């Protein structure tokens, strides 16, 4: 999808109710909606849910006939009957390493339910609020109300489904001019059960004027977990004037899982946003990364790494709307594809006429490790401004025999030579991650990864 939706986000019921014949257009989607629906309550959050649910009932699950989903077939997803994930399971099933790497400042959700006994948010500076929605004070909830489900792209079907089923939210609020020195880790653990389950994590990060914060958003399952589940995640990041957010997103779900994620970022003038998006897990995964510039002279840096094998499908769609002058955008997304896996990259950069003196660069580099590995790449620039500096490109290659031979001539066997080259390819992205423990863990994952 493109970022061309009104900031009013989800429309009201009257605007949505075009005709009663459009209700419940997709029986499977309505079944998912029924599973994620939470008990009714009063107040603004219920109104938000109701409007989103009304929109979902007018929608359908995307198919390959739609341009935005042309290379990603959801027919296998439709064959699974998902049930709402049971409330928080025994936390002892969690792997200690996951919590150790989560650091000192963390929120932990298990199967979509907040786990306060695993979370640690006491060592935060004044002016920083980190918690789940139900634990916030009334003024803090009012701040959340101003931003929750207000980002562009709220009408996308899976985003609306998430909004319709909001039961809790991981919230990070950073006050004006506050600098958070240590990263805040948002850990979402799924413990698969005997039946296929669906959980819908929701995050909201608000960095007020002049503030700085690093956030790690981490989707995991327990080690050697078996079972099918769907994670439908939405994260909204609001960056005020001259604020800086460094965001690391790691998806390492079960190889039988489905993962659909949305990251919607709003950047005010002079703000900076850096994203490191790592995709490793999931039978089928999709990440929609959407950046909306609302003021001049913003800086946006997007680094992405997809590393898949077996028959995994990983789809990354990004859209950057640079609507004001003097904006800078740099994007590098790499894919390492082995066995019969299939990677998709579609990156759009919009530069309308008001966005003069924009500097935007986009590059997608792909490494295929198997004759049956596949990648579909489509970097795009849509430019109507006439005084800009913009470039985009894509490369698809295999490991070079000459490079392997050179390493062999230095006493390295062929298998280790392949690993060394793959590691170097991935390290360019991973080395930018600001959390040392996570960076080392991911580098170890690349080193021990089955390359196909």
| Residues facing residue 205 across a β-bridge | 172, 237
Does residue 222 lie in a domain region?
A: yes
Instruction: Give residue 407's pLDDT.
Output: 86
**Domain enclosing residue 270, as ranges:** 13-295
> How do residues 262-301 score in pLDDT, each as one tens digit?
999 999 999 999 999 999 999 999 999 999 999 999 999 9
Instruction: Give residue 8's pLDDT.
Output: 39
CB-CB contact of 435 with 103 (8 Å) = yes
Does residue 341 lie in a domain region?
A: no
- How many domains does the chain divide into? 1
Does residue 140 lie in a domain region?
A: yes
Task: Report how far residue 320's alpha carbon sits from residue 301's, in angstroms, rounded to the nearest whole number.
Answer: 11
Does residue 449 lie in a domain region?
A: no
Low-confidence ranges of the chain (pLDDT < 70): 1-22, 87-103, 224-225, 451-452
Does residue 267 lie in a domain region?
A: yes
CB-CB neighbours of 224 under 10 Å = 7
Does residue 185 lie in a domain region?
A: yes
Q: What is the pTM of this model?
A: 0.92
Does residue 184 lie in a domain region?
A: yes
Does residue 272 lie in a domain region?
A: yes
> How do residues 178-221 score in pLDDT, each as one tens digit?
999 999 999 999 888 788 999 999 999 999 999 999 999 999 98
């Amino acid at each position: 999808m493109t970022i061309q939706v009104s900031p009013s986000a989800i429309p009201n019921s009257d605007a949505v109710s075009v005709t009663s014949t459009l209700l419940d257009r997709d029986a499977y989607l309505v079944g998912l909606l029924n599973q994620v629906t939470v008990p009714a309550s009063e107040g603004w959050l219920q109104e938000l849910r109701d409007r989103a649910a009304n929109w979902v009932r007018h929608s359908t699950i995307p198919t390959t006939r739609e341009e935005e989903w042309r290379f990603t077939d959801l027919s296998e997803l439709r064959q699974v009957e998902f049930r709402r994930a049971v409330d928080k399971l025994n936390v002892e099933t969690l792997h200690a390493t996951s919590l150790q790497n989560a650091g000192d400042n963390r929120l932990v959700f298990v199967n979509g339910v907040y786990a306060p006994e695993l979370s640690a948010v006491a060592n935060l500076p004044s002016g920083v609020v980190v918690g789940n929605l139900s634990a916030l004070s009334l003024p803090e909830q009012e701040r959340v109300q101003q931003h929750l489900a207000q980002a562009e792209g709220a009408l996308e079907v899976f985003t609306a489904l998430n909004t319709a089923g909001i039961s809790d939210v991981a919230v990070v609020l950073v006050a004006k001019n506050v600098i958070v020195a240590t990263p805040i880790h948002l850990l979402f653990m799924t413990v698969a059960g005997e039946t296929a389950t669906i959980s819908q994590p929701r995050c909201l990060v608000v960095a007020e004027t002049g503030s700085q914060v690093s956030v790690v958003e981490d989707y995991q399952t327990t080690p050697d977990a078996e079972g099918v589940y769907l994670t439908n995640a939405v994260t909204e990041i609001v960056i005020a004037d001259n604020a800086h957010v460094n965001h690391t997103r790691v998806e390492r779900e079960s190889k039988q899982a489905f993962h659909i994620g949305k990251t919607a970022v709003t950047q005010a003038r002079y703000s900076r946003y850096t994203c490191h998006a790592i995709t490793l897990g999931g039978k089928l995964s999709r990440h929609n990364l959407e950046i909306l510039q609302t003021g001049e002279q913003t800086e946006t840096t997007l680094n992405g790494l997809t590393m898949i094998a077996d028959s995994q499908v990983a789809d990354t769609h990004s859209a950057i709307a640079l609507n004001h002058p003097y904006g800078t955008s740099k994007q590098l997304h790499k894919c390492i594809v082995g066995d019969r896996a299939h990677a998709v990259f579609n990156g759009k950069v919009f530069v309308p006429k008001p966005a003069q003196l924009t500097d935007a660069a986009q590059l997608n580099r792909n490494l295929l490790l198997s004759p049956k590995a596949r990648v579909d790449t489509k970097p795009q620039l849509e430019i109507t401004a006439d005084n800009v500096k913009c470039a985009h490109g894509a490369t698809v290659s295999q490991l070079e025999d000459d490079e392997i031979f050179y390493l062999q001539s230095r006493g390295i066997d062929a298998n280790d030579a392949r690993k060394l080259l793959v590691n170097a390819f991935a390290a360019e992205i991973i080395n930018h991650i600001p959390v040392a423990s996570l960076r080392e863990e991911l580098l170890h994952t690349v080193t021990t990864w089955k390359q196909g």
